[in-house]
Structure 1
Amino acid sequence: MGRHGWDTGTRRWRFTALIGVGMAALALVLTMCTAWPGADGTGDSAGTSTDGAKVHGTPPPAPGTAKAELGWGFTHTQFSADAGDDTARARAEKLLAGKKLPQIQHLMGWGSNNPEPSPGRYQFGEMDSRIDLIRRSGGTPVVTLCCAPDWMKGGKKGAANTDWSKQALETAPRPEHYADFAKLAGVVARRYPDVKHFIVWNEFKGFFDDGARRWNYEGYTELYNLVYAELKKVNKDILVGGPYLVMDSIDPRATDNASQVRGAWGSLDQRSLDAFTYWNEHKAGADFAVVDGSSYSKDDELLPSDFGATDKFTAVSRWVRQQTGGKLPLWWAEYYVEPGDADDDRDDWSEPHRAAVQAAGMIALARGGTGTAFYWNPQNERGDCAGCLWTPTQAADGGMELPMMKLISRFAAEFPPGTRYDEKVPVAADDVSHVRVLADERTALVVNTLDRAVETRVDGQDIAMKPYEVRWLTRK
Structure 2
Amino acid sequence: MSDTGRPDSAPAAGPVRRRTRLVALGVVTVVLAPVLSCTSGPATAPPKASLGWGLTHTQYSADVGSPEALRTARKALSARSLPQNQHLMGWGATNPEAWPGRYDFAALDRRIDLIRKTGGTPVITLCCAPDWMKGGTPGHTDWSRLEAAPNPEHYDDFAALAATVAERYPDVRHFIVWNEFKGFFDERKNRWDYEGYTALYNKVYRALKKVNKDNLVGGPYLTMDSHPPGVETYASDLKGPWGSVDQRVLDAFRYWNRHKAGADFIAVDGASRTRNDEAVPDEFRATDKFTAVGRWVRQQTSLPLWWAEYYVERTGSESQVSEPLDHALQAAGLIAMVKGGATTGFYWNPQDRSGRCARCLWRSTELTDGSGGRAQPTLDLIRRFDKEFPPGTTYRRVDVAADDAASVRVLADDTAMLVVNTRDRPVRAEIEGRTVDLDGYQVRWLKSP
Partner of 2:14: none
Partner of 1:22: none
SS in 1 for 2:237: strand
Partner of 2:138: 157
Residue 52 of structure 2 aligns with an amino acid whose one-letter code is: G
Residue 213 of structure 1 aligns with an amino acid whose one-letter code is: N
Q: Residues 2 and 246 of structure 1 are in contact (CA less than 8 Å); yes or no, is this contact kept in structure 2? A: no
Residue 76 of structure 1 aligns with an amino acid whose one-letter code is: H
Alignment of 1:370-409 (within 5 A): 370-396=342-368, 397=370, 398-409=372-383
Shift of 1:381: 1.1
Partner of 1:312: 289
- Structure 1 residue 108 corresponds to structure 2 residue 85: no
Note the alpha carbon deviations across 1:125-157, whole angstroms, 9 max, x for none.
Answer: 110000000000000000000000011111111
- Structure 1 residue 418 corresponds to structure 2 residue 392: yes
Change over 3 Å in CA distance of 1:91–1:3 after alignment to 2: closer
Q: Residues 99 and 132 of structure 2 are in contact (CA less than 8 Å); yes or no, is this contact kept in structure 1? A: yes
Q: Measure, in 1, the Cα distance between the counterparts of 2:69 and 2:101.
A: 37
Note the alpha carbon deviations across 1:374-408, whole angstroms, 9 max, x for none.
Answer: 11125211232211111111123211110000111
**Which residue, 337, 344, 350 being the options, matches 2:312?**
337
Q: Measure, in 1, the Cα distance between the counterparts of 2:40 and 2:296.
A: 38
Partner of 1:276: 253
Residue 386 of structure 2 aligns with an amino acid whose one-letter code is: A
- Structure 1 residue 13 corresponds to structure 2 residue 22: yes
Q: Residues 279 and 315 of structure 2 are in contact (CA less than 8 Å); yes or no, is this contact kept in structure 1? A: no
Seq. identity, %: 59
SS in 2 for 1:81: coil
Partner of 2:172: 195
Change over 3 Å in CA distance of 1:378–1:64 after alignment to 2: closer
Q: Measure, in 2, the Cα distance between the counterparts of 1:184 and 1:467.
A: 50
**Which residue, 244, 252, 273 being the options, matches 2:221?**
244
Change over 3 Å in CA distance of 1:351–1:3 after alignment to 2: closer
Partner of 1:136: 117
**Which residue, 115, 121, 127 being the options, matches 2:102?**
121
Q: Residues 236 and 245 of structure 2 are in contact (CA less than 8 Å); yes or no, is this contact kept in structure 1? A: yes
SS in 2 for 1:364: helix
- Structure 1 residue 427 corresponds to structure 2 residue 404: no
Partner of 1:440: 413
Partner of 1:450: 423
Q: Residues 11 and 340 of structure 1 are in contact (CA less than 8 Å); yes or no, is this contact kept in structure 2? A: no
Q: Measure, in 1, the Cα distance between the counterparts of 2:361 and 2:394.
A: 27
Q: Residues 3 and 58 of structure 2 are in contact (CA less than 8 Å); yes or no, is this contact kept in structure 1? A: no
Partner of 1:182: 159
Alignment of 1:17-32 (within 5 A): 17=26, 26-27=27-28, 30=29
Q: Measure, in 2, the Cα distance between the counterparts of 1:442 and 1:298.
A: 38
Q: Which runs of 5+ in 1 are unaligned?
A: 18-25, 35-39, 44-48
Q: TM-score, normalised by structure 1?
A: 0.89
Q: Measure, in 2, the Cα distance between the counterparts of 1:346 and 1:65.
A: 43
Alignment of 1:291-370 (within 5 A): 291-324=268-301, 326=302, 328-338=303-313, 346-370=318-342
Q: Which runs of 5+ in 2 are unaligned?
A: 12-17
Q: Measure, in 1, the Cα distance between the counterparts of 2:19 and 2:373.
A: 21
Q: Measure, in 1, the Cα distance between the counterparts of 2:380 and 2:343.
A: 19
Change over 3 Å in CA distance of 1:399–1:468 after alignment to 2: same
Equivalenced residues, count? 437
Alignment of 1:201-220 (within 5 A): 201-220=178-197
Q: Residues 306 and 345 of structure 2 are in contact (CA less than 8 Å); yes or no, is this contact kept in structure 1? A: yes
Q: Residues 2 and 204 of structure 1 are in contact (CA less than 8 Å); yes or no, is this contact kept in structure 2? A: no
SS in 1 for 2:236: strand
Q: Measure, in 2, the Cα distance between the counterparts of 1:143 and 1:289.
A: 15
CA RMSD, Structure 1 to Structure 2 (Å): 1.9
Q: Residues 294 and 340 of structure 2 are in contact (CA less than 8 Å); yes or no, is this contact kept in structure 1? A: yes
SS in 2 for 1:430: coil
Q: TM-score, normalised by structure 2?
A: 0.94
Note the alpha carbon deviations across 1:153-183, whole angstroms, 9 max, x for none.
Answer: 111111xx21111xx0121000000000000
Shift of 1:460: 3.0
Shift of 1:339: 6.1
Note the alpha carbon deviations across 1:193-230, whole angstroms, 9 max, x for none.
Answer: 00000000000000000010000000000000000000
SS in 2 for 1:172: coil
Partner of 1:62: 43
